[in-house]
């Protein structure tokens, strides 16, 4: 499928209401990654491990990340239909409230199994963000702005990790692991209020949107693309390009969550960095992710060649993972892991933009849910499996070799996408 640039309007629109929608998505993804990534810091904290009785048990520590991904992945298949049935706004506000309550409970208990159950509940609650984002971006942004809109979500994801790693490390050192979770519960109220105030499901129903901005948003769309009725469709399952996206994004998720789960521990336990140094260095991959997504998204939209960016990103990711396994120094290992995450972010922006551009409005939320569901279930095994390899070999190099092998699969699949102007 080729997107016709000739239908796009280059005229500057009047009104910026759609940017408030994007701001709400930014806050949502920011807080989501505060909540989901905090465990990667906590499992490196002795007090947390001692309180839960998992000190020295790398498999149980990895399970805290795996259980989140498993429940996240399974529930993704139901999240899309929920968004289509009840609307993005209602589903988003309910889920955001659930996240904050989950953080509150996690900070109040000392049972490993209750914490594990909370991580599962968080996975259920966060499952809606990708379908919500895809629905809102397709509804509120014209084709020529979608990569940039998606990049804002990915910048927020990476910014959430960048901010949360040193912040939570500082909180753990200052007020303990419980205090860090209570702080996250308080922060989680902010996007609830913002989303309730600014998010609308239908462009024409927003009280502040102008006719000119609405016309600009809908420019170049087919009649079906502006339909507003609640109607679910599964036609995307017959699309060959969609399944290529699923394969590549599954690899991206596997590598991304493997790095997220174990990079802080790798820095502290394997490379011997201090808590202070670890908090800063652990943020480097996500800084490169934010920068990569922000810089490349406008070029993707301008060139209308997101398949090409997918292939380039997969080659870069695989190369960086290989170089990590043969890095001659700690500094080199940190650099290659950091760069690998930059390629993960670029590929993710490209893949979701392709999916939104090739999926009908009545199926985009469902398609996004299936995409994240399949990829998350696949990725859920990697934090645990990397922990098993770590236990068996005493080093994370074998674990990074596993991620490198995934990259080869992604490169082969991306070769079929790169010529398509999606």
pLDDT surpassing 50 at residue 223: no
Confidence at residue 190, expressed as pLDDT on a 0 to 100 scale: 92
**pTM of the shown model:** 0.77
Averaged confidence pLDDT in the chain:
82
pLDDT in the model for residue 268: 62
| Residue where the block lists tokens 């690998």 | 340
pLDDT (0 to 100) of residue 117: 92
Longest dimension (CA), the chain: 63
Q: Which residues contact 224 (CB under 8 A, 6 or more apart)?
A: 360, 361
Distance of CA 5 to the CA centre of its chain: 28
Separation of CA 89 from chain center: 19
The pLDDT, as a whole number, for residue 5 is: 44
What is the structure's pLDDT at 273? 63
When mean pLDDT is compared over 133-137, 139-143, 158-162, 279-283, the highest value belongs to 133-137
Q: Which pair of tokens denotes residue 377?
A: 């279930």
Both structure tokens of 343? 């390629």
- pLDDT(47) > 50: yes
**CB-based contact 43:265 (threshold 8 Å):** yes
pLDDT at 20 over 80: yes
The long-range contacts involving 226-233, CB below 8 angstroms and separated by at least 24 positions, are 226/361, 227/361, 227/362, 228/202, 229/362, 230/84, 230/85, 231/84, 231/362, 232/80, 232/81, 232/84, 232/85, 232/362, 232/363, 232/366, 233/360, 233/362, 233/363, 233/366
CB 42 within 8 A of CB 112: no
| Distance, CA of 323 to CA of 404 (rounded, Å) | 9
28 vs 37, more confident: 28
Show Cβ contacts of residue 20 under 8 Å, excluding neighbours closer than 6 positions: 198
Q: How far is residue 52's CA from residue 262's CA, in Å, rounded to a whole number?
A: 19
**Residue 8 scores a pLDDT above 50:** no
Tell me the percentage of the chain whose pLDDT exceeds 70.
86
Least confident of 6-20, 115-129, 299-313, 390-404: 6-20
Q: Give the C-alpha separation, 416 to 422, whole Å.
A: 12
Cβ(149)–Cβ(19) below 8 Å: no
**Dihedral sign of CA atoms 174, 180, 185, 191 in order:** positive
Q: What angle do CA 395, 398, 399 make, to 5 degrees?
A: 95
- Helices within 107-239 (DSSP H only): 112-126, 129-140, 146-187, 189-198, 211-218
What confidence score (pLDDT) does residue 165 get?
Answer: 73
Distance between CA 294 and CA 154 in Å, rounded?
A: 8
Model confidence pLDDT, tens digit, residues 323-357: 877 777 777 777 888 898 899 999 999 999 988 88
User: Rg for the chain (alpha carbons), in Å?
Assistant: 21
- DSSP assignments along 199-234, one per residue: --SSGGG-TT--HHHHHHHHTT--TGGG--S-----
The answer to which of 5-14, 292-301, 352-361 has the lowest mean pLDDT is 5-14
**Which of 129-133, 215-219, 262-266, 283-287 is predicted with the least confidence, judged by mean pLDDT?**
262-266
pLDDT band at 13 (very low <50, low <70, confident <90, very high): low
**For position 267, what pLDDT does the model report?**
65
Q: In the prediction, which pLDDT does 265 show?
A: 66
- Predicted local confidence at residue 347, as pLDDT: 92
Q: How far, in Å, CA of 22 to CA of 141, rounded?
A: 10
Distances (CA, A) of 268 to 50, 280, 380: 18, 12, 23
pLDDT (average), residues 145-172: 85
Mean pLDDT of 237-265: 83
Among 72-81, 206-215, 323-332, 357-366, the range scoring the smallest mean pLDDT is 323-332
Mean pLDDT for 105-130 is 89
Is pLDDT at 241 greater than 60 in this prediction?
A: yes
373-399 pLDDT per residue, tens? 888 788 877 777 777 777 777 766 777
- CB–CB of 374/250 below 8 Å? yes
- Which is nearest to 349 in space by CA: 147, 213, 156, 211? 147
Mean pLDDT computed over 159-171:
80
pLDDT of residue 4: 46
CB 381 within 8 A of CB 403: no
Mean pLDDT over 174-191 rounds to 89
Separation CA 110–CA 181 (nearest Å)? 13
Residue whose structure tokens are 């429940």: 71
pLDDT at 3: 47
- pLDDT value at position 71? 85
Q: SS3 for 283?
A: coil
Phi-psi region of 200 (alpha: psi -120 to 50; beta: other; left: phi over 0): beta
Give the residue-averaged pLDDT of 164-177. 81
Percent of the chain residues topping a pLDDT of 90? 22
Candidates 39, 28, 97; CA nearest to 63 is 39
Q: How many residues does the chain have?
A: 422
- 87 touches 201 (CB < 8 A): yes
């Amino acid at each position: 499928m080729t997107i016709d640039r000739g239908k796009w309007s280059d005229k500057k629109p009047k009104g910026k209401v759609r940017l408030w929608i994007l701001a709400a998505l930014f806050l949502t993804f920011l807080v989501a990654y505060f909540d989901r990534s905090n465990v990667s810091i906590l499992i490196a904290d002795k007090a947390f491990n001692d309180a839960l009785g998992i000190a020295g048990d790398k498999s149980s520590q990895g399970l805290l990340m795996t259980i989140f991904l498993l429940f996240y992945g399974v529930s993704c298949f139901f999240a899309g239909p929920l968004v289509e049935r009840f609307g993005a706004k209602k589903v988003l506000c309910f889920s955001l409230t659930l996240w904050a309550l989950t953080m509150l409970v996690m900070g109040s208990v000392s049972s490993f199994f209750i914490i594990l159950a909370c991580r599962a509940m968080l996975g259920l609650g966060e499952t809606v963000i990708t379908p919500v984002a895809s629905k809102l971006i397709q509804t509120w942004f014209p084709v020529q702005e979608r990569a940039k809109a998606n990049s804002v979500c990915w910048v927020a994801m990476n910014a959430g990790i960048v901010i949360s790693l040193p912040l939570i490390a500082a909180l753990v050192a200052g007020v303990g692991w419980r205090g860090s979770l209570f702080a996250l519960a308080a922060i989680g109220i902010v996007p609830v209020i913002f989303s309730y105030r600014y998010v609308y499901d239908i462009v024409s129903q927003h009280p502040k949107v102008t006719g000119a901005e609405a016309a600009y948003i809908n420019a170049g769309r087919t009649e079906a693309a502006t339909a507003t009725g609640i109607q679910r469709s599964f036609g995307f399952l017959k699309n060959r390009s969609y399944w290529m996206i699923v394969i590549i994004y599954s690899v991206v998720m596997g590598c991304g969550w493997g790095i997220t789960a174990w990079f802080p521990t790798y820095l502290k336990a394997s490379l011997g960095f201090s808590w202070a140094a670890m908090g800063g260095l652990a943020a480097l991959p996500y800084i490169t992710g934010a920068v990569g997504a922000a810089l490349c998204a406008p070029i993707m939209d301008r060139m209308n060649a997101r398949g090409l960016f997918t292939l380039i990103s997969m080659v870069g990711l695989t190369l960086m993972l290989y170089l990590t396994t043969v890095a001659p120094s700690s500094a080199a290992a940190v650099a290659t892991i950091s760069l690998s995450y930059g390629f993960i972010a670029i590929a993710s922006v490209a893949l979701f933009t392709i999916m939104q551009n090739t999926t009908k409005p009545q199926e985009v939320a469902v398609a996004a849910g299936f995409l994240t569901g399949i990829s998350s279930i696949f990725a859920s095994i990697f934090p645990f499996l990397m922990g098993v390899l770590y236990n068996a070999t005493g080093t994370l190099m074998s674990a990074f070799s596993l991620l490198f092998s995934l990259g080869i699969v992604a490169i082969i699949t991306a070769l079929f996408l790169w010529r398509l102007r999606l």
